[in-house]
Amino acid sequence: SLVILCHKLQESMLSSASSFRNYRGVLNWCVVMLVLSNARLFLENLLRYGILVDPIQVVSLFLKDPYSWPAACLVIGILGVCIDVHVLGSISEKVGLLIYIFNLTVILCFPMVVVLKLPSITPVGGAFTLGVYTILFLKLYSYKDVNRWCRVRTQVKARSLSRSLSCPSSPSASSCMQSHVSYPGNLSLRDMYYFVFAPTLCYELNFPRSESIRMGFLLRRLFEMVGNCTLLYSVKPVFILQEMDYSRMTERLLRLAVPNHLIWLIFFYCFFHSSMNFVAELLRFGDREFYRDWWNSETITYFWQNWNIPVHKWCLRHFYKPLLRRGAGKLLSQSAVFFASAFFHEYLVSVPLRMFRLWAFMGMMAQLPLAWFVAKFLRGNYGNAAVWLSLIIGQPIAVLMYVHDYYVTHCQDDPTITEAL
Amino acid sequence: SLVILCHKLQESMLSSASSFRNYRGVLNWCVVMLVLSNARLFLENLLRYGILVDPIQVVSLFLKDPYSWPAACLVIGILGVCIDVHVLGSISEKVGLLIYIFNLTVILCFPMVVVLKLPSITPVGGAFTLGVYTILFLKLYSYKDVNRWCRVRTQVKARSLSRSLSCPSSPSASSCMQSHVSYPGNLSLRDMYYFVFAPTLCYELNFPRSESIRMGFLLRRLFEMVGNCTLLYSVKPVFILQEMDYSRMTERLLRLAVPNHLIWLIFFYCFFHSSMNFVAELLRFGDREFYRDWWNSETITYFWQNWNIPVHKWCLRHFYKPLLRRGAGKLLSQSAVFFASAFFHEYLVSVPLRMFRLWAFMGMMAQLPLAWFVAKFLRGNYGNAAVWLSLIIGQPIAVLMYVHDYYVTHCQDDPTITEAL
């Protein structure tokens, strides 16, 4: 009877009705196809240039003539600036807050002014510098908040302790961990610099730490970083800008969209997976959730909440929830977060290009009606396809706008660049 | 305290150490990219040709002059041949077996002879016809086996019944289903033709049936079939065969491999998912497992066991297990299954091309050492990447061999075809 019966009622695995969702192999397929279709260029680049950026050469070049590398100077300069902030304690809360506000404003404005005034800084160098300063800004903001929360808590504890002296301070669940640090003990240079280099934007007194540094893991991430950088050089977006007529715009957009999207994906993997995991492994930083499964997102909102976890966590902890605690409405707080995000996008793009066009800002703002539309009308795989389309098509529209404007302002009279484009 | 703690020990989702495996979105990405990168051609084809094959036109063309379509004639002719097999019962087991052997041999040899002798049959038409006849061969083989098993069981039952008349025949678990059919009751034309059209190769007296025909599901599958056929026309493999020097072979192989692989993937989806689900939905056939998750396969063996479930099930039920029951060793039986599979691959390729080169046979046979190598030396994602590579590179090597030989024998003297290639 068992031999004679051999069918049972079930759906195909690829049907949306089936609950099967394991497509790890498809991801591997994408990697194999990407490497294979660029194999010739990839091998050529690797053979010709070796590891793309020779670190010793860069350092020696920098040491010889540091002032022709202003972007790098700015990045290194900042590390000294932020020491002053941990000497709080002997001054009052209000004075400390003022110093913080001054410091944070300087961190945000100083590089902007330098990038705008120094013409020797390239757009890429400028964007990199501003990115580093923005990260530092967010980190210091979190550092200030958490230390303030700690002070408030110790004050509350001290008050409740004076009321009932018989009961000793109850040990919290986390205090049973080995080498657990509590409030004033964390104010050290060592602790602060660990936070500055750790791949997170949210300060915490006791970060979860991994057991040990796995050399195999470290080497694989390093190999991925080198491989991805080599791959990036073989994916070249096609910018055809000579005659910018709007009739052939659609075709051009598509020709730009796919390489641009591939570059973004490779950048995502290289930065959010390889580099961050590399740094985390080096620092034995335990929390490796730098992104969640945004590739499955069926709404625009889910994508924005999951593709960049460090920033999302920071926004939630230091912007959205404090706003809610102060009595702001949910919709108002959400819009405020989006507004701040749009501001930083614009800051990171406009300043290095020295063009204020608000394309990035508008691109971020356009996400709001789009999110509403997708959530309202599309479900499941169709919603997911819509999110992918908005990524593939939406991004290059903004990029095309900036490239077009940059071309018009900078290169129109220069025949050599026109030809190169 | 909850606000201050916001990190926990965890791995990144893309790390192989994490247990996260849901990449449904990556599959959607592949579809979006495939459609988008062929969007222009896709739309052009759809606008120019509409639905690619107009069924009314094909039928009217066929009715006008059926003898110039010998491939189609062969396919239709067979449906009459297989009626005779269900009249068993009045003749002895041995005579029945002889009739079966004769019928099965005819089914396999008759179309082969016709395809080889009639020059008006194209390679594609020939491969299609032989495919249909091979399916019919496998189905009839299963039909014969299952009916024989049923006769053996009823004889055993009758004997045990005559020994203990007090106990009535115990109702099996499956007999409580509505409209359950038992052995001689299944020998009807209606039942047989249902099996011939059902998307399975293994006969069963009571197939699981789905509740009803879902029109939305049916239409989506139909839309997918049309879309995939249109997509197939926009992916054109590059055959450069004029000068076949072996030094530039590798580059050519890569340029052939990617489009060839895409065609295979689209074919897989179109045939194993869209078409089979379409037919199953029409016939309310319940078992939709036409493939399993071969995209995750980390060994070559797993791929061969899971990409084509109807054939795999048939091999297991009617070839591998009977061999084991007759006392053959495990390794011998496995090799025999592989040998039979290699034979049918060769049969389906060599006969329509009218060239006997054994490339397909050797390609199948080369899987054995490859499977050993992958299972021995590669694990996890590396094994998976190796399986993908063998698919992407292995197939086009065999295809290139046949195309090269076909070109040498048929087109070398014909300048028009040389130019078209």
By CA distance, what is A21's nearest residue in B? B22
Which 239-258 residues of chain B touch chain A by CB within 8 A? 251, 254, 257-258
Give residue B167's pLDDT.
Answer: 41
**Percent of chain B clearing pLDDT 70 (strictly above):** 75
**How far is the C-alpha of A151 from the C-alpha of A147, rounded, in Å?**
6
Reduced to 3 states (helix: H, G, I; strand: E, B; else coil), residue B287 is strand
Helix spans in A177-308 (H): 189-197, 215-234, 249-268, 276-282, 300-306
Q: Model confidence over B167-203: pLDDT tens digits?
A: 444 444 444 445 677 777 777 778 888 888 899 999 8
Reduced to 3 states (helix: H, G, I; strand: E, B; else coil), residue B325 is helix
Is the per-residue pLDDT at B324 higher than 90?
yes
The predicted model gives B318-334 an average pLDDT of 91
**Which residues in chain B are contacts of A1 at CB distance < 8 A?**
153, 172, 174
Q: Which residue has the tokens 């995000």?
A: A341
Q: Model confidence over A292-306: pLDDT tens digits?
A: 989 989 999 899 889
Give residue B334's pLDDT.
Answer: 87
B180 contact A CB<8A: no
**How far is the C-alpha of A363 from the C-alpha of A368, rounded, in Å?**
10
DSSP assignments along A22-41, one per residue: B-HHHHHHHHHHHHHHTHHH
The predicted model gives A231-237 an average pLDDT of 66
Q: Model confidence over A119-178: pLDDT tens digits?
A: 777 788 888 888 988 998 898 888 888 888 888 888 888 787 766 554 444 444 444 445
Tokens for A240? 């055809």
What does DSSP assign to residue B298? S
Q: Could you say which of B3, B254, B287 has the minimum Cβ distance to residue A36?
A: B254
Q: Could you say which of A273, A287, A317 has the minimum Cβ distance to residue B10?
A: A287
CA distances from B303 to B171, B232, B295, B362 (A): 39, 24, 8, 18
Q: Model confidence over B353-395: pLDDT tens digits?
A: 888 888 888 888 888 888 889 988 988 888 999 999 998 888 8
Give residue A387's pLDDT.
Answer: 92
Q: Which of B7, B180, B261, B345 is catalytic?
A: B345
Lowest mean pLDDT among A407-416, B114-123, B279-288: A407-416
Give residue A19's pLDDT.
Answer: 80
> Residue A369 CB: number of other CB atoms within 10 A?
10
Q: Could you say which of B6, B10, B37 has the minimum Cβ distance to residue A258?
A: B37
> What are residue B103's phi and psi, to 5 degrees?
-60, -45
By CA distance, what is B281's nearest residue in A? A11
Reduced to 3 states (helix: H, G, I; strand: E, B; else coil), residue A421 is coil
Give residue A184's pLDDT.
Answer: 73
Binary contact (A254, B40; C-beta < 8 A): yes
Q: Could you say which of A10, A26, A39 has the minimum Cβ distance to residue B289?
A: A10
* Residue burial B41-56, b: 16+ Cβ < 10 Å; e: rest: ebeebbeeeeeeeeee
Instruction: Please say whether the beta carbons of A36 and A212 come within 8 A.
Output: no
Q: Could you say which of A28, A153, A389 has the minimum Cβ distance to residue B384?
A: A28
**How far is the C-alpha of B192 from the C-alpha of B54, rounded, in Å?**
30
Give residue A421's pLDDT.
Answer: 42
A322 contact B CB<8A: no
Give residue B65's pLDDT.
Answer: 63
Lowest mean pLDDT among A346-355, B253-262, B292-301, B325-334: B253-262
Binary contact (A384, B24; C-beta < 8 A): yes
Interface test with B, best of A2, A23, A220, A249 (most B CBs within 10 A): A23
Is the per-residue pLDDT at B303 higher than 80?
yes
Q: Model confidence over B211-232: pLDDT tens digits?
A: 889 998 999 999 888 888 777 7
Q: Model confidence over A190-219: pLDDT tens digits?
A: 888 888 889 999 988 888 988 889 999 999
Closest Cα of chain B to A101: distance in Å? 21
Which 261-300 residues of chain B touch chain A by CB within 8 A? 269, 273, 276-277, 286-297
Closest Cα of chain B to A328: distance in Å? 19
A35-39, B146-150, B404-408 — most confident range: B146-150
In single-letter form, the type of residue at position A29 comes to W
Give residue B419's pLDDT.
Answer: 44
**Which residues in chain A are contacts of B295 at CB distance < 8 A?**
23, 25-26, 29
A227-236, A281-290, B100-109 — most confident range: A281-290
Give residue B176's pLDDT.
Answer: 43
**Percent of chain A clearing pLDDT 90 (strictly above):** 16
**Percent of chain B clearing pLDDT 90 (strictly above):** 16
Closest Cα of chain A to B15: distance in Å? 8
Residue predicted with more confidence, A299 or B85: A299
Reduced to 3 states (helix: H, G, I; strand: E, B; else coil), residue A287 is strand
Is the per-residue pLDDT at A69 higher than 90?
no
ipTM value for the complex = 0.76
The predicted model gives A269-296 an average pLDDT of 92
Mean pLDDT of chain B: 78
By CA distance, what is B295's nearest residue in A? A25
Using 50, 70 and 90 to split pLDDT, how confident is the model at B282?
very high
Instruction: Please say whether the beta carbons of A196 and A79 come within 8 A.
Output: yes
Is the per-residue pLDDT at A381 higher than 70?
yes
A382 contact B CB<8A: no
Residue predicted with more confidence, A85 or B117: B117
**Which residues in chain B are contacts of A14 at CB distance < 8 A?**
27, 269, 273, 291
A163 contact B CB<8A: no
Q: Which residue has the tokens 């499941």?
A: A380
Give residue B314's pLDDT.
Answer: 93
Binary contact (A22, B20; C-beta < 8 A): no
The vertex-B9 CA angle with B4 and B11, nearest 5°, equals 130
Using 50, 70 and 90 to split pLDDT, how confident is the model at A234?
low
**How far is the C-alpha of A260 from the C-alpha of A252, rounded, in Å?**
12
Using 50, 70 and 90 to split pLDDT, how confident is the model at B59?
low
Binary contact (B7, A202; C-beta < 8 A): yes
CA distances from B26 to A265, A388, A390 (A): 12, 10, 15
A95 contact B CB<8A: no
**Percent of chain A clearing pLDDT 70 (strictly above):** 74
Strand partners, B22: A22
Using 50, 70 and 90 to split pLDDT, how confident is the model at A312?
very high
Using 50, 70 and 90 to split pLDDT, how confident is the model at A63?
low
B8 contact A CB<8A: yes
Closest Cα of chain A to B50: distance in Å? 22
Closest Cα of chain A to B244: distance in Å? 20
In single-letter form, the type of residue at position A73 comes to C
Q: Could you say which of B26, B32, B385 has the minimum Cβ distance to residue A26?
A: B26
**Which residues in chain B are contacts of A276 at CB distance < 8 A?**
12
